[in-house]
Structure formats: C-alpha cells, structure tokens
C-alpha cells in the first residue's frame, strides 16, 4: 500500500512540472523496483521449488546419489500401496475436526464476553487471550507434552484424582489426537477470538439495545443476533482453520507420532519420507498430492460458503 | 527423545543461519587452504570446522589440541543428533557448506558409505598405520567391505552392561552381588523371571520399555535384518525372532516409558524400574536425572552377550580443503590416550583396546554405581562385542521394529498384528 501511494503522489508531481516522458518512465521502473524484492524472493522460494518438486516427484532420489527417472511410479505407489499415507490423511482430518470445532465455538463465546460493556480492563483480557498465538510453538509443545505424560503428567494426575484410570495419551489413538488438538486449540483460540471481536464490533449496538428493551436476555441475544450477523466472519475463520489444520506439523512432531503412527499427519509424513528415509522423490509426490487435497477441500469449503451466503 | 525434538525445532532457524555462515566461512577458508594442505603442520594458520552432536564429550580434548597446536583453530558446532545428520547430508548434497570434520553415528555409517565420493578416503592420509589401535569390528564398520576405503576414525563404543537397583533386588530376595546377579540372570528367560518376582514383591517394573529390550537382544546377534550377502532376512533371522519373542513375553515387566523423555527421568529418580540397559554413556544420564539415587546402583554384565549401542566415526567430507590438517586432528583426538581421557571425564568407552589394560581405566570407579572395578567390568563387556553387519536401511528398519514393539505395549495392536504390519512396512520400505 505504502509503495503504491508513494508512486501515485510522485507520478502526479513531476508530470505537472516537466513535460518530459523520462521521469514518468523512471517512476514506473522505480515502482517495479520497489515491489521486485517480493517477486524475486517468491520466484526463488515459491515458484522454483514448486516446479522442482514436480520434477523430483517423477524420480527416485536419495539426495546424495543420482536421480533415477521412474515416471509416475511414486504416485502409483502412493495410491495403491501406501497404508501409511492414507492413515496420515485420516489422522489429519481427525485432528483438524477435534481441534477446530470446539476451538471456534470457544472463540465465539470468548469474543462475545470480551465485547460486553460491563467488562473492565478489556485491553488486558484481549492481550491475554492473544498471547498463546505468539508463543513459540516449540515451547507450547514441550510443556503440553510434559502435561500429557502418561505416568507423571499433570493431566493424568487430575484424571486419577477423579478416580479414573490414567490415560495413555501418547499410546492411544484418541489420546494422541486429543493431546495434539489441545495444543492446536490453545494456540489458535485467541487468534480467532480477536477476529470475532472485530466482527462483533461491526454489529450495531442498536440491535442489542432494541433486544434488551424487548426483554431478550444475553443468551437469546447471542443466538439470535450475534451468530446470524457473524456468519461471514465465522465462514472466514473456518476456511483459515481448514488450511492451517491440513498443515499441522510441529505439534505431532514434538509430541511424538506414536508407535501405531496415530499422530502421523500428512506434513509430518512428508517430512519423515524426505529427512528420515531420504526418499526425496517420494516426498515430492506426497507434496503434490497434499496440494491437491488442500485445493479440493478448499473448493468444497468455498462451495458450501456460497450456498450459505445466498 | 523429547529433548532432541525440542532442540531440533529450536535450532532449525539457527541452523539455516549457520549454514549460511558456514558456507561463507568456507569460501574465505578456501583461499588460505590452497597453501596449507601441503604444509599443514609447519605453522600456517588453519581453521577447521567440526560438526558434532551434544554429549560426545570432546570439548576438553579439542581445547587441549589447540593449545598444543596454536596454528590450528577448531570451530566446533554442535546440533542435536537427528538434525546433525540431516544437515550433513544436505550440505554434502548441495556441494557446499560441509565442515572439515563431520561426526557420523553408527546408524548412518552404511548409508554414507554408499556415497564414498562425498568423503576423503582416510587411507590416503595414513589411516592404515593406526588401524591396529582400534577394535577390529569397529574398524570393519568404518571401512568398505573390501577394505579399500576408510570413511572415518572411530570414537567411543557402547558395550552393553546392565545397571540394577541393589535395594530393589534385596527387597525381592534376589542376589545383590554383581557376580551373583550376572550368574542368576545369565539368560533372558531368567531375567524375565526375576522381573516377575520383583513385580510381585515390590509392584515395580524390571525395565523401562519393551522396544529397548528388543533392541538390546537384537544387537547381541551378528546378523540383523540382512545377512552378509545383503539378503533381507527379517522373517528368517533367529536373533530377530528371539528378540521379538522376548520383548513380547516381557511386556508385563516393562514400564512403557521411553528413554530420554521427561517421564524417563522422573521414573529413574523414583525407582520405577529395577534395571537399566547400560551402554557406558548411559551412566551420565542416570546421574543427571536421578542424583538422589547415588549408591543405590550396581553394575553387572547383561544377560547372554554384550552388544554395541552407539559410537561414531569422525570423517572428512570431500569438500574440505584442509583434509591433511583435519586428519592429523581426528587421528589425535581418537588416539588411545585421548579416548582414555574422555572416558575418565564422561564415561564414553574407548574403542582402542590398548588402553583396556591401562591402570587408570581398570581402576576407574564411581561411588554413584557402587562397584570399584567399573572400568574393568566395562572393558570385559567391550571384549564381548562382535561385528554386526548393518545396511543403509538399518535405521529405517530400526524405527519400524521399535514402533511395532511399542504398539503392542501401548495395546494398539496385538503381537501378531504388530509383527505383520512391521514386516509389510519393512518390505515396502526396502523395495522402493
């Protein structure tokens, strides 16, 4: 934005003063020069890897040796003979679902509370709620991993206080999914809360006042005014969470994917293929399939969004 | 495990910066090095970069080397275990940024031996002259099959022994004297039986993790997943079958706690398990995690046979332009005398048998672990280790088998399901 406005002001001035074309051309070039860093970096780190990955996915390559061209064998293997990949897809969707649904609900309720007139120290609460999001994901994962420890974890201590058996968090499907989802949730609830808060502030106070006069209580106001008017923003956060959820990596990586690969997500699988097993060609094929899955999933999202909007 | 992961992610950023820094320092080093490869020891200033992972205990000796050779500067860069090898492979593949001296852990040796052209052949620098200093099986591991190529000079070895809690053994009514323990627990069957007695008497476990037991028993055999001709023998291997059966059998006396986790530290401190499988470098970890258990431990031979767990090579990537100075440095660093010093300091056990009879090693003891002949006991364990053939796929297969045993312990698979999954996955991995 800044570049653009600078460009506009500088183009109008010289043109009115001098009649030559050169300064204008110079300004145009300067404009491109100013925005070029992004495109150069994007070309090197975005476009080139994209095509190189496509090229690699048709090869067998252990990074140190020669690339061997094998056509579509990687893709064929991925679709016909790779139980782990499909397990990873399932895990990813499961973790995405367990983390996103309660996360967005909680965020909406929190935003509603933070938006109340009676609340003192709003700034402090807003900051507090956003803090987890800027905390290092590594630190979060380490602390949560310790909390979710099977034998000496805080959470199991509480669980046993209530008379239940300790839960094997890192050694069962549901346990691992819940533990990873908890980390994701803790980190992203605040982020969504702030977005919802912005949305809430766009809703006119008159509506709430009118509802109060008509005798509607807070709960009714929440369900009949807040939620319907927030629909577009809720859809926006759903899309964001979907894209984020498909790429969950650091949490399962640090928590441990578990002996039955119950915490193996798609991106973690990609990483392990490349850097643990040095199968770079295969990992590249996974990357492309992952890309397709995210596109398909986003299109479905978009379709539903359009339907709801109209 | 947890800490490795932590350090991993934390250092990813630092690493990428480090790579940039390295490549630039290499460029500047390149101009100097054209001259100093010819007369490295004659006073020209040389800077050697060295990549290692934490816990190798080399710092003191490196300092000493620099004092004795003021013209040599060693820049030691440590990154966590898993990371370290990834970085190395990446630097080798990209053709720049690799250090002058790189540590290669035994799990990665075979894979990197496949890419000999990425390393200087240490034979060219006189490695043959010192070959006799090292354990025969360790040198074989460091060389190509025909012996024409030497990838690196061996650092320490990890001969397996077993630490046990004297108080728990006593409470159960088992023998407590190391020799008697080793006799009473001479086979794994006897070990499991004793574990059940302990569980009955104290409610505690015998060891931490069934997968670790699988690993220990597996490493007691000479052939693992492949025979010497390179045939895949996972399903036929006697040793694998025995390791698997024992690990399945011993589920009830395993605490299901992974090594090197926060939980492991807490469990050792609380005495949740009566024995710890003990490569010498584990001594330090017990001391660090459970300082209050001082004097409650003793150490003896592990049932049936020893085996090796860990140990590295110091290699010189082909990118290094200071190979001659680098070789002088690593040959010195891994020479018997220096390995002895590192052992006294940290407990990493030398790979040079000539010091096994050394008075200082023989009399090495640690009040933490009670027995006063710890050194000679470990030397005896080292003498029991034999050559094991490993393949480039060994690391991937190790992970598959570890997970398979752990999934039984977690209860997410039956022994039969776990075995079938593992075999299928192993075949799939090596067929690609």
As given in the structure block, the two tokens for residue B19 are 């790579």
C-beta atoms of B432 and A171 within 8 A = no
Contacts across the A-B interface (CB distance below 8 Å): 99
pLDDT per 10-residue tile (average), chain B, 432 residues: 48 42 38 40 81 88 94 93 89 92 91 91 94 92 91 93 95 93 94 95 95 94 85 91 95 91 90 93 89 93 88 94 94 94 88 91 88 88 85 89 95 94 92 79
- Nearest CB among A253, A259, A275 relative to B5 is that of A253
* SS3 label, residue B101: strand
Q: Is A282 on the interface with B (CB under 8 A)?
A: yes
pLDDT in tens, A109-152: 999 888 887 778 888 988 999 999 999 988 998 899 999 998 88
Q: Are A233 and A199 in contact (CB under 8 A)?
A: yes
> What pLDDT score was predicted for residue B36?
40
Chain B residues in contact with A258 (beta carbon < 8 A): 410, 412
What span, in angstroms and rounded, lies between the C-alpha atoms of A184 and A157?
22
Residue B268, min C-alpha distance to chain A (Å): 12
C-beta atoms of B255 and A260 within 8 A = no
Please return the burial class of A294, using the count of CB atoms within 10 Å of its CB with bins 0-12, 13-18 and 19+. Answer: middle
What span, in angstroms and rounded, lies between the C-alpha atoms of B139 and B125?
16
As given in the structure block, the two tokens for residue A304 are 């539903």
Determine the length of chain A: 310
Q: Are B46 and B72 in contact (CB under 8 A)?
A: yes
> What pLDDT score was predicted for residue B124?
94
Q: Report yes or no for ipTM above 0.90.
A: no
DSSP string over A270-292:
HHHHHHTS--HHHHHHHHHHHHH
Q: Of A207, A206, A201, which is closest to residue A230 (Cα–Cα)?
A: A201
Mutate to test the interface with A, among B259, B410, B423, B425 (most CBs of A within 10 A): B410
> What pLDDT score was predicted for residue B129?
93
* Spacing of C-alpha B240 from chain mean position: 20
- The predicted model gives A19-35 an average pLDDT of 82
> What pLDDT score was predicted for residue A310?
64
- Nearest CB among A82, A168, A254 relative to B9 is that of A254
Q: Are B278 and B213 in contact (CB under 8 A)?
A: no
Mutate to test the interface with A, among B91, B412, B423, B429 (most CBs of A within 10 A): B412
- For the cut 70, the answer to whether the pLDDT of residue A309 exceeds it is no
What span, in angstroms and rounded, lies between the C-alpha atoms of B66 and B73?
6
The DSSP code for B228 is T
Mean pLDDT (chain A) is 88
Q: Categorize the per-residue pLDDT at A6 as very low, low, confident or very high, splitting at 50, 70 and 90.
A: very low
The DSSP code for A50 is H
Q: Are B166 and B363 in contact (CB under 8 A)?
A: no
> What pLDDT score was predicted for residue B281?
85
Mutate to test the interface with B, among A151, A249, A250, A257 (most CBs of B within 10 A): A151
What span, in angstroms and rounded, lies between the C-alpha atoms of B143 and B250?
37
> What pLDDT score was predicted for residue B12?
46
> What pLDDT score was predicted for residue B298?
94
Mutate to test the interface with B, among A65, A260, A284 (most CBs of B within 10 A): A260
Contacts of B229 (CB under 8 A, 6+ apart): none
pLDDT in tens, A196-250: 999 998 888 898 899 999 998 888 988 888 888 898 898 889 888 988 899 899 9
The Cβ-side half-sphere exposure at A43, using a 13 Å CA radius, reads 6
- For the cut 50, the answer to whether the pLDDT of residue A8 exceeds it is no
Contacts of B33 (CB under 8 A, 6+ apart): B46, B321, B322
What span, in angstroms and rounded, lies between the C-alpha atoms of B299 and B369?
7
> What pLDDT score was predicted for residue A122?
82
What predicted TM-score, i.e. pTM, was given to this entire model? 0.83
Q: Are B65 and B329 in contact (CB under 8 A)?
A: yes
The fraction of chain A above a pLDDT of 90, given in percent, is 56
As given in the structure block, the two tokens for residue A1 are 């934005």
Contacts of B267 (CB under 8 A, 6+ apart): A151, A152, B208, B255, B257, B273
Could you tell me the sign of the dihedral formed by the alpha carbons of B140, B144, B146, B149, in that order? negative
Q: Is A279 on the interface with B (CB under 8 A)?
A: yes
Q: Is B403 on the interface with A (CB under 8 A)?
A: yes
Chain B residues in contact with A145 (beta carbon < 8 A): 2, 262
What span, in angstroms and rounded, lies between the C-alpha atoms of B203 and B274?
11
- Nearest CB among B92, B266, B432 relative to A282 is that of B432
Beta-strand runs (E) in B79-157: 101-105, 152-154
Q: Is B7 on the interface with A (CB under 8 A)?
A: no
Q: Of B311, B322, B287, which is closest to residue B98 (Cα–Cα)?
A: B322
Q: Of A62, A55, A56, A282, which is closest to residue B89 (Cα–Cα)?
A: A62
């Amino acid at each position: 934005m800044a570049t653009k406005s600078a460009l506009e002001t500088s183009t109008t001035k010289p043109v009115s003063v001098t009649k030559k074309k050169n300064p204008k051309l110079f300004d145009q070039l300067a404009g491109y020069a100013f925005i070029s860093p992004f495109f150069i970096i994007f070309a090197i780190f975005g476009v080139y890897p994209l095509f190189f990955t496509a090229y690699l996915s048709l090869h067998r390559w252990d990074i140190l040796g020669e690339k061997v061209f094998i056509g579509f064998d990687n893709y064929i293997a991925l679709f016909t003979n790779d139980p782990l990949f499909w397990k990873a897809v399932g895990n990813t969707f499961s973790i995405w679902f367990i983390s996103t649904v309660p996360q967005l609900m909680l965020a909406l309720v929190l935003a509603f509370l933070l938006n109340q007139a009676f609340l003192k120290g709003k700034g402090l609460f807003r900051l507090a709620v956003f803090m987890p999001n800027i905390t290092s994901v590594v630190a979060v994962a380490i602390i949560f991993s310790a909390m979710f420890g099977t034998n000496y974890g805080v959470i199991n201590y509480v669980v046993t206080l209530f008379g239940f058996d300790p839960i094997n968090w890192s050694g069962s499907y549901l346990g691992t999914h819940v533990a990873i989802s908890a980390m994701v949730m803790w980190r992203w609830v605040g982020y969504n809360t702030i977005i919802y808060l912005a949305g809430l502030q766009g809703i006119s106070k008159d509506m709430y006042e009118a509802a109060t006069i008509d005798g509607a209580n807070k709960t009714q106001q929440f369900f009949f005014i807040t939620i319907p008017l927030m629909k577009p923003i809720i859809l926006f956060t759903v899309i964001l969470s979907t894209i984020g959820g498909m790429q969950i990596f650091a949490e399962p990586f640090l928590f441990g994917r578990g002996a039955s690969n119950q915490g193996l997500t798609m991106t973690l699988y990609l990483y392990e293929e490349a850097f643990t097993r040095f199968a770079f060609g295969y990992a590249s094929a996974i990357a492309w399939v992952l890309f397709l899955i995210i596109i398909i999933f986003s299109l479905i999202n978009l379709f539903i969004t359009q339907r709801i909007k109209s | 495990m947890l800490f490795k992961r932590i350090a991993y992610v934390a250092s990813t950023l630092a690493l990428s910066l480090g790579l940039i820094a390295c490549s630039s320092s290499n460029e500047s080093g390149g101009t100097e090095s054209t001259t100093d490869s010819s007369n490295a020891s004659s006073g020209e200033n040389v800077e050697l970069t060295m990549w290692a992972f934490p816990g190798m205990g080399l710092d003191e000796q490196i300092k000493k080397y620099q004092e004795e050779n003021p013209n040599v500067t060693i820049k030691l860069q440590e990154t966590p275990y898993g990371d370290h090898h990834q970085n190395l492979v990446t630097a080798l593949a990209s053709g720049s940024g690799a250090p002058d001296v790189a540590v290669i852990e035994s799990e990665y040796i075979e894979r990197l031996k496949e890419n000999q052209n990425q390393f200087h052949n240490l034979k060219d620098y006189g490695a043959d002259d010192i070959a006799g200093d090292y354990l025969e099986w360790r040198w074989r591991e460091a060389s190509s099959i025909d012996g024409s190529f030497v990838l690196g000079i061996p650092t320490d070895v990890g001969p397996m022994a077993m630490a046990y809690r004297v108080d728990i053994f006593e409470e159960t009514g088992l023998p407590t004297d190391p020799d008697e323990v080793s006799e009473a627990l001479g086979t794994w069957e006897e070990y499991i039986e004793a574990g059940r007695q302990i569980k009955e008497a104290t409610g505690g476990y015998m060891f931490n993790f069934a997968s670790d037991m699988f690993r220990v028993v597996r490493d007691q055999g000479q052939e693992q997943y492949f025979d010497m001709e390179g045939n895949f023998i996972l399903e036929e291997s006697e040793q694998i079958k025995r390791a698997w059966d024992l690990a399945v059998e011993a589920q009830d006396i395993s605490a299901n706690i992974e090594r090197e986790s926060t939980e492991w530290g807490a469990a050792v401190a609380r005495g949740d398990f009566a024995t710890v499988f003990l490569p010498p470098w584990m001594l330090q970890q017990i001391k660090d995690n459970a300082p209050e258990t001082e004097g409650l431990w003793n150490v003896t031979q592990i049932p049936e046979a020893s085996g090796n767990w860990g140990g590295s090579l110091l290699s010189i990537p082909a990118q290094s332009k200071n190979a001659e100075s680098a070789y002088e440095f690593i040959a010195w660093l891994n020479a018997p005398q220096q390995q002895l010093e590192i052992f006294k300091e940290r407990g990493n056990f030398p790979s040079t048998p000539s010091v096994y009879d050394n008075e200082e090693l023989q009399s090495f003891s640690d009040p933490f672990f009670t027995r006063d002949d710890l050194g000679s006991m470990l030397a005896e364990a080292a003498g029991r280790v034999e050559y094991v053939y490993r393949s480039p796929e060994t690391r991937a297969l190790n992970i598959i088998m570890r997970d398979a045993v752990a999934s039984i312990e977690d209860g997410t698979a039956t022994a039969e399901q776990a075995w079938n999954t593992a075999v299928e996955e192993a075949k799939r991995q090596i067929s690609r």
